Homo-oligomer: A and B are copies of this chain.
Amino acid sequence: MASEVRQKATLAQTAATIMNKMTTGQKNNALSAMADALIKDQASIIEANALDLERGRENGTSPSLLDRLALNEDRVAGIAEGLRQVVDLPDPVGELIEQFDRPNGLRVEKTRVPLGVIGMIYEARPNVTVDAVGLCLKTGNCVVLRGGSAALESNRKIVEVLRNALATTDLPEDAIQLIEDSDRASVNEMLKLNGLLDVVIPRGGAALIRNVVENATVPVIETGAGICHTYVDESADYDMAEQIAFNAKVQRPSVCNSMETLVLHEAFAERHLQQIADRFVSANVELRGDKRTSERLSQIKLATEQDFATEYNDYVLNIRIVANLDEALDHIRKFSTKHSECIVTENAEHAERFLNEVDAAAVYHNASTRFTDGFEFGFGAEIGISTQKLHARGPMGLPALTSTKYRVYGNGQIRG
């Protein structure tokens, strides 16, 4: 007998044929029906969530993780509202991307089509379950969800509610599949389902993403890891530099587009190191400095190579002092995860060099790296932030969940 994973992926693959035919109107109706159902059935969802929370507390889960896991009426309302926002986004499917006629009379059209079946592998936050369903269904895809075991009861109830809602619409219930097997083997089985899954998208911590990248034979869209730098050039305006750096580190340290290392031109450091360090220390940021920094700042820990290669996602910041832009570029080239990188400078030539030469999904001149985000970019939704170079790079909106198809119209053409 086929495993749960294979069975459910096969059901999704079959449903993909129906999803492929759904109009924008039919898909939007389904999204609205799902949003209504979440509100109507919120009591049972919150009840199921309570079981997850109870088990989490028994297992000694940290308060911050429990908070991410927890659902209440406000949060369910927010999740439902997220679905309604997706209704309002333009549907990329069917878009005519290119059209050309060949000398032999063939007409070629390149149009946007759904990817097919998307595998989502993620951790404990049950809102991701609904977000993923909304974005995948809006783009005509089916989705196979494999959330963290800590949220299993919540996810099971949410998916039941969503599938029941679909049953009242034209969309096939089987477009949504939840893998309930919480053994890690079920993840690894998903990663090898070529022919049933068209893509796998991991969302979560570094270990989860590494496991997916290392073991998947299905194409992957890699998301997440961010060792982001802010380089403050000699000519930078002090107030602007401090504000941008502080925002990049402190406004929300736990996310991928926050800063891990502040790179300072030595002339800037000569004038302002103590002042900018004090600002971070006052916000309880632990500082670690390279040798030049530690010679200038008393009581700073020495940063190791490993520190410069670490995504802290926390109130910890490395400081590196460089002699010039080239040295800054070298440091970034060595340690960047190619997510988001910033230069603060009043020197236009240096800005252009930085933006051209730094290899990253998003490069900033005089703005915080925290803006690398689908909503901040105005996409109205975000599946994740791609840190790979194929298919999609940076914040991914709905078009990242589509592929293309060439339609060729002839009247008997053959190749000579």
Chain A residues within 8 Å of B, Cβ to Cβ: 16-17, 20-21, 100, 102, 106, 108, 113, 115-116, 194, 198-199, 213-214, 217, 219-222, 237, 240, 243-244, 246-247, 251, 333, 355-357, 359-368, 370-372, 376-378, 388-391, 393-394, 403-415
For A214, the chain B residues whose CB sits under 8 A away are 217
- In the docked arrangement, what's the CA distance between A377 and B408, Å? 10
Total copies of this chain within the assembly: 2
Contact of B219 with A413 in the complex, beta carbons under 8 Å: no
Given contacts A213-B194, A389-B219, contact A413 B17 (CB under 8 A): no
The 10 A-B residue pairs whose C-beta atoms are closest, nearest first, are A367-B410, A247-B414, A389-B403, A391-B391, A370-B415, A362-B406, A390-B391, A367-B413, A240-B412, A366-B410
- In the docked arrangement, what's the CA distance between A115 and B214, Å? 20
For A116, the chain B residues whose CB sits under 8 A away are 359, 389
Given contacts A356-B21, A410-B364, contact A115 B371 (CB under 8 A): no
For A333, the chain B residues whose CB sits under 8 A away are 17
Contact of B366 with A409 in the complex, beta carbons under 8 Å: yes
Contact of A406 with B394 in the complex, beta carbons under 8 Å: yes
Contact of B198 with A389 in the complex, beta carbons under 8 Å: yes
- In the docked arrangement, what's the CA distance between A304 and B195, Å? 21
Contact of B17 with A368 in the complex, beta carbons under 8 Å: no
Question: Contact check: which of B20, B198, B377, B411 meets A356 at CB < 8 Å?
Answer: B20
Contact of B415 with A251 in the complex, beta carbons under 8 Å: yes
Contact of B363 with A407 in the complex, beta carbons under 8 Å: yes
For A365, the chain B residues whose CB sits under 8 A away are 407-410
Contact of B412 with A243 in the complex, beta carbons under 8 Å: yes
Question: Contact check: which of B17, B371, B410, B413 meets A106 at CB < 8 Å?
Answer: B371
Contact of B106 with A367 in the complex, beta carbons under 8 Å: yes
Question: Contact check: which of B243, B376, B394, B403 meets A102 at CB < 8 Å?
Answer: B376
Q: Closest Cβ of chain B: how far from A68's Cβ, in Å?
A: 20
Contact of B414 with A243 in the complex, beta carbons under 8 Å: yes
Q: Closest Cβ of chain B: how far from A57's Cβ, in Å?
A: 33
- In the docked arrangement, what's the CA distance between A58 and B251, Å? 69
**A360: nearest chain-B partner, CB-CB:** B405
Given contacts A17-B333, A414-B243, contact A221 B390 (CB under 8 A): yes
**A416: nearest chain-B partner, CB-CB:** B251
**A354: nearest chain-B partner, CB-CB:** B407
Given contacts A20-B357, A377-B108, A378-B100, contact A405 B363 (CB under 8 A): yes
Contact of A377 with B102 in the complex, beta carbons under 8 Å: yes
- In the docked arrangement, what's the CA distance between A243 and B355, Å? 54
